[in-house]
Structure 1
Amino acid sequence: MNRFVVISGCSGGGKSTLLAELGRRGYAVVEEPGRRIVKAEIHSNGTALPWIDPTAFLHRAIAMALADRASVGTPDDWIFFDRSLIDAAVALQHLTGKPELMSIGQLNRYHQRVFLTPPWSKIYVQDQERRHTLDSAMAEYSRLLEVYPSLGYDLSIVPKVGVEERADFILSTLNN
């Protein structure tokens, strides 16, 4: 059974907080490639940033997501990914119009059940690493809501409740 579980969805929808809670409970988690790239690029005065060179940024996100998958091996328990290479491929396809990018998602499968955090204006914040608006985050969410099922994944929308309840929802869904 594939133990690579994707938590994706709206930027600013609470994914990172949710993954921190799953990590606190002892599960392996993989931090979002985009956040790691932005931190490194800001630190080094690099240009592979979504607001400077989005194509370079997304190519790095795909490469990092592939490396993340390879680095975790074959786990015995759930591993939770904050976004996936599919997220980066969807964004790159949207930017460039190249549909062949989605084949990467077919070759590198995750668990059948994908969890999406919906737009949640109450918790959405912009910061140095998240400079886009809630409207652009909602457009991204709409694309993901369409693409994951088109690649054969089953979606579960994470409810807008406290982080402990969100983690419980995910674990109970996976264990049923």
Structure 2
Amino acid sequence: MPHFHVISGCSGGGKSSLLAELGQRGHSIVPEPGRRIVAKEQAGDGAALPWSNPAAFARRAIALSLRDLEENRSAESVVFFDRGLIDAACALLHTSPGKNEEDRVLALCAQHRYQPVVFMTPPWPEIYVNDAQRKHDLYAAVAEYERLCAFYPKLGYRLIELPRNGIAFRADFVEAHIGKT
């Protein structure tokens, strides 16, 4: 299993800031698929924006996550992912429930694994803000966080909640734990 670590959790919980800090410390990082898709869609026809077509958005996030995994397969050191395949799969199952979709997504997630420990940014109302790429409110973000907290363990992942503390502290916390997976 490659040294792929996922940082997931609540939207607006500080994932991207943490990943930026880990990148500054020399770690390989992969930006969040959702934000890349939204930026591309906002520059184009907007056919797969999460607020107008969540199922199309989730399918694109799955495809982009698979490409990210493939592009990093040969990495010899730790790679941190800002969300990834599991988050996209969870979003798709939320927007397009059904047995066939669930079976396909679960098989895909079983085939493409990350390290067994996932770092979760909890809801943190004091730092939550909306922007051009994050239009949902904190309540929707918390609901998504709860879905992720239920979904990851079903796939055999163990969750570690990150402390609500500064970025440097969080990065130290992650670095201290990656040798313990």
**Pairwise TM-score range, normalised by the shorter structure:** over 0.9
Give yes or no for the alignment of 1:174 onto 2:178: yes
The one-letter code matched in structure 2 to 1:52 is S
> Which stretch shows the higher mean deviation, 97-106 or 136-145?
97-106
Q: Which runs of 4+ in 1 moved over 4 A?
A: none
Shift of 1:102: 2.3
Give yes or no for the alignment of 1:89 onto 2:93: no
Give the structure 2 partner of residue 19 of structure 1. Answer: 19
Q: What is the alpha-carbon distance in structure 2 between the residues aligned to residue 2 and residue 86 of structure 1?
A: 16
Q: What is the alpha-carbon distance in structure 2 between the residues aligned to residue 39 and residue 123 of structure 1?
A: 22
**Aligned partner of residue 13 in structure 1, secondary structure:** coil
Unpaired runs of 5+ residues, structure 1, are none
Q: What is the alpha-carbon distance in structure 1 between the residues aligned to residue 45 and residue 93 of structure 2?
A: 26
Q: What is the TM-score normalised by the length of structure 2?
A: 0.94
Shift of 1:43: 1.0
Shift of 1:96: 1.2
Q: What is the TM-score normalised by the length of structure 1?
A: 0.97
Unpaired runs of 5+ residues, structure 2, are none
Render the CA deviation track for 1:60-82: whole Å, top value 9, x for unaligned.
Answer: 00000000000012322110000
Give yes or no for the alignment of 1:73 onto 2:77: no
Give yes or no for the alignment of 1:150 onto 2:154: yes
> Which stretch shows the higher mean deviation, 25-34 or 89-98?
89-98
Q: What is the alpha-carbon distance in structure 2 between the residues aligned to residue 147 and residue 158 of structure 1?
A: 18
Matches within 5 A, 1:60-139: 60-98=60-98, 99-100=102-103, 101-139=105-143
Q: What is the alpha-carbon distance in structure 2 between the residues aligned to residue 106 and residue 157 of structure 1?
A: 23
8 Å Cα contact 2:2/2:73 also seen in 1? no
8 Å Cα contact 1:8/1:82 also seen in 2? yes
Render the CA deviation track for 1:17-75: whole Å, top value 9, x for unaligned.
Answer: 00000000000000000000000110123221011111111110000000000001232
Q: What is the alpha-carbon distance in structure 1 between the residues aligned to residue 74 and residue 156 of structure 2?
A: 22
Q: What is the alpha-carbon distance in structure 1 between the residues aligned to residue 107 and residue 141 of structure 2?
A: 24
> Which stretch shows the higher mean deviation, 72-81 or 23-32?
72-81
8 Å Cα contact 2:6/2:83 also seen in 1? yes
Identity score, percent: 51
The one-letter code matched in structure 2 to 1:96 is S
Q: What is the alpha-carbon distance in structure 1 between the residues aligned to residue 58 and residue 153 of structure 2?
A: 22
